[in-house]
Amino acid sequence: MKAYVVNLLRSEDRRVYMENLLSAIDDIEIEYINAVDGKSLSDKERHTLFDVEKFSRDNLRLSRPGEIGCTLSHQKCYRRLIESDESYAIVFEDDIVMNEAPVSFIAEIEKWLRTDEPRVLLLSGWFWYTTESGFDEKHKVATVSDGYLTHAYALNRAAAELMTDERPWYVADAWDMFRKRGIRICGLRPHPFDQDWSGVFKTVVNDESQRKTSFNLSGWMKIKKRSAIQKILTLAGNMEPARHNG
């Protein structure tokens, strides 16, 4: 199965780390996707490639350069899948940690993605779900309502086509928005991959403080509604937390 690894060209240590880590997984063919460094983009490039104004209206804050770079990097993965002969792929960021040896479920992931229905399968935690059903002997597959993080997930071509935008205006982990586009978003429980939060590999996505913009009632109501749904599902026990590694 094809695995796209998002990696900055200058981060050779992370590339070596991922090569060693993924070598333990059978039937994985690695292809590195040169990540977009949001900090290196000029203001003109950021506004050309990313709808900064729409992001601010929806989120009531300014976008961070790292967020822009992350979103554009994952967009490159979707375009690569669409342009390739592959029907599905796994997307990894280059700072993942394995919670288990995933030798048994790669074939099951391929089966689950082998459909014309747009599908994404989160292989990470920090998501809220409504229902769940059997996947294999060790995992359940949960129907995701909302979630965060993009360091490990699988998708098929039909989903990639719906997740690609010429000028995106959202963070890469806009799972709630993608779900509303008609994509079936699910997640594995327990999740097999987390991020290394030990500080060994410093993330550049949230490396700047959030700078708020002017108040927008529509955006405020959307944020409050999303937060309320998350709280309800958490109280119901329908939340798969991320694990702190490091």
Fold of 2-240: Spore Coat Polysaccharide Biosynthesis Protein SpsA; Chain A (3.90.550)
Cis peptide before 190 (omega within 30 of 0): yes
Calculate the CA 55 to chain-centre distance. 18
Distance CA(86)–CA(33), nearest Å, equals: 15
Could you read off the pLDDT tens digit of each residue along the chain, which spans 246 residues? 999 999 999 999 999 999 999 988 888 999 999 999 999 999 999 999 999 999 999 999 999 999 999 999 999 999 999 999 999 999 999 999 999 876 668 899 999 999 999 999 999 999 999 999 999 989 999 999 999 999 999 999 999 999 999 999 999 999 999 999 999 999 999 999 999 876 544 454 555 555 666 567 776 788 889 899 999 999 999 999 998 654
According to the model, what pLDDT value does residue 214 have? 59
Domain boundaries, the chain: 2-240
Q: Which residues of 120-149 are buried (b: 16+ CB within 10 A; e: fewer)?
A: bbbbbbbbbbeebeebeeebbbbebbbbbb
Distance CA(136)–CA(189), nearest Å, equals: 10
Looking at this protein, which amino acid is placed at residue 194?
D
CA angle 43, 168, 92 (to 5 degrees): 100
